[in-house]
Chains A and B, each alone.
Chain A
Amino acid sequence: MALQVELVAADRQVWSGEATMVRARTADGEIGIMAGHEPLLAILGSGEVVITAGGNGITAHVDGGFLSVDHDTVTLVAESVQVGGGSPATQSGH
């Protein structure tokens, strides 16, 4: 079972697709989410978001926002998202 992940900035959708794991920094600390996670609404701090999707993932820097998990659907919303962090396939997933 995989996660359906959406990473959304205010003016565009940055990444969407299936992933095995999502790592992000919330207000309380780093959190990792895999399939079967309980429903969650959390505030994101400023920091890195890493989406692992078998060589097709993405690393991005977000500046505050929030994260919601519901039925294996993960939505990361941030006002500004900067893609970067060395993943060679940052353009994929559209």
Chain B
Amino acid sequence: MAGQLRAYRRQIRSVQATKKITRAMELIAASRIVKAQAAVRASSPYARALTRAVSAAAANSTLDHPLVTEKPNVRRAALVLLTSDRGLAGAYSSNVLKEGERLAATLREEGKEVLPYLVGRKAAAFYRFRRRDITAEWAGFTDKPAFENAKEIGDRLVADFATDEAEGGVDEIHVVYTHFVNMVTQEPRVIRLAPLEVVEGVEAPGDGDLAPLYTFEPSAEDVLDQLLPQYVTSRIFNCLLLAAASELAARQRAMKSATDNAEELVKNLTRLANNARQSEITQEITEIVGGADALASAGSAH
């Protein structure tokens, strides 16, 4: 009986220790989401300026750069997966991987070969466990990406896209990342990074004049040559930042529910422990009363 009580107490202590850890992780994640969101905001002027310039250049020149040209038959597609380095973030990484698997299946159905470019240790572990080939992998920065990380990934992708498919290049680049909608909603999204779809139109020119005719320096081709890879990198950077914010939000939520569960467990265990203690006392009293009764009846019999 006493052993049971001791066992409950030990369990309560261990659950409380776990709760302290998950609570700390929750608070850390919560404070870092704010920073991650600020990073997303800070990078938006760059992305906006690039988008504006690209659409201006697109409107002013015949856009026949390889990065925007659809190749006639696509045979090799790059699949970029943005996952986390660490676990304890609920279904964050597995959602991206699931979406990636779905996309890979679709691409294969279209007769394309899928080449995985993995970001985050979780994606690499997923592929390695299944003994699949990995074209490229990066890790170690998923919760706090720097522009250099995006540049490294972007340079590699642009280089592979420029390479002929017979020599190991790719014809298409798809990215799966987690979009940060708000603190409670993050959803995996797929974008096609290349060939680029130049979206936003140029701002309508004021004063009733025609769209400005740009002068390019040194030449339109050179400007596009420089702009488009930068545009690709900036989109990757944006995806990385949004994914980082999503990862932290997912971790915060996972750790919050872990903390709540621990609290619930402690409550139940405390109840059980009290029960055990009470029944121990009851039993002792019963034993004493029973013993006294026996003594009394033994005394009166004489």
Chain A residues packing against B (C-beta within 8 Å): 6, 8-13, 16, 26-28, 31, 38-43, 64-66, 68, 70-71, 75, 77, 79-80
* A contact patch SS: strand
Stretch at the interface among B126-134, B212-220, B279-287: B212-220
Chain B minimum-CB-distance residue to A78? B46
In the complex, whether B52 has a CB less than 8 A from a CB of chain A is yes
Complex CA distance for A77 and B44, rounded to whole angstroms: 12
Known: A66-B226, A70-B56. Is A75-B49 also a contact (CB below 8 A)? yes
CB neighbours (8 Å) of B39 from chain A are 11
Contact A41 B56 (CB under 8 A): yes
In the complex, whether B227 has a CB less than 8 A from a CB of chain A is yes
The digit string for B44-75, where 1 denotes a CB below 8 A from any CB of A, is 01100110110011001000000000000000
Chain B residues packing against A (C-beta within 8 Å): 39, 42-43, 45-46, 49-50, 52-53, 56-57, 60, 146-147, 150-151, 205-206, 212-218, 222-223, 226-227, 230, 234, 237
User: Count the A-B residue pairs with Cβ separation under 8 angstroms: how many?
Assistant: 93
Known: A11-B39, A70-B214, A79-B147. 20 other contacts (CB 8 A): A9-B46, A12-B42, A13-B42, A16-B45, A27-B217, A27-B222, A28-B217, A39-B212, A39-B213, A39-B214, A41-B217, A42-B218, A43-B223, A65-B230, A66-B230, A68-B56, A71-B205, A71-B206, A71-B212, A75-B49
Complex CA distance for A41 and B56, rounded to whole angstroms: 9
Known: A11-B147, A71-B205. Is A38-B217 also a contact (CB below 8 A)? no
Contact B215 A38 (CB under 8 A): yes
Chain B minimum-CB-distance residue to A27? B218
Contact B230 A6 (CB under 8 A): no
Task: With both chains docked as a complex, state the minimum distance between the C-beta of A57 and any C-beta of chain B, in angstroms.
Answer: 19
CB neighbours (8 Å) of B215 from chain A are 38-41
Task: With both chains docked as a complex, state the minimum distance between the C-beta of A86 and any C-beta of chain B, in angstroms.
Answer: 25
Taking a contact as CB atoms closer than 8 A, the residue among B52, B147, B214 that contacts A40 in the complex is B214
Contact B234 A41 (CB under 8 A): no
For the complex of A and B, 3 pairs with smallest distance between CB atoms: A39-B212, A42-B217, A10-B147
Contact A77 B49 (CB under 8 A): yes
29 examples of A-B residue contacts, CB within 8 angstroms: A6-B45, A6-B49, A8-B46, A10-B43, A10-B46, A10-B150, A10-B234, A12-B45, A13-B42, A13-B45, A26-B217, A28-B217, A38-B212, A40-B215, A41-B56, A41-B57, A41-B214, A42-B217, A42-B223, A43-B218, A43-B222, A43-B223, A43-B226, A64-B226, A68-B49, A71-B205, A71-B206, A77-B230, A79-B230
Complex CA distance for A44 and B249, rounded to whole angstroms: 38
Complex CA distance for A33 and B283, rounded to whole angstroms: 94
Complex CA distance for A65 and B290, rounded to whole angstroms: 93
Chain A minimum-CB-distance residue to B223? A41
Complex CA distance for A40 and B60, rounded to whole angstroms: 11
Complex CA distance for A16 and B223, rounded to whole angstroms: 23
Taking a contact as CB atoms closer than 8 A, the residue among B46, B52, B53, B230 that contacts A11 in the complex is B46
CB neighbours (8 Å) of B214 from chain A are 39-41, 68, 70
Complex CA distance for A67 and B30, rounded to whole angstroms: 38
CB neighbours (8 Å) of A9 from chain B are 46
CB neighbours (8 Å) of A40 from chain B are 214-217
Contact B218 A28 (CB under 8 A): yes
Chain B minimum-CB-distance residue to A10? B147
Complex CA distance for A64 and B217, rounded to whole angstroms: 14
Task: With both chains docked as a complex, state the minimum distance between the C-beta of A29 and any C-beta of chain B, in angstroms.
Answer: 9
Task: With both chains docked as a complex, state the minimum distance between the C-beta of A1 and any C-beta of chain B, in angstroms.
Answer: 13
CB neighbours (8 Å) of B218 from chain A are 27-28, 42-43
CB neighbours (8 Å) of A16 from chain B are 45
CB neighbours (8 Å) of B151 from chain A are 79
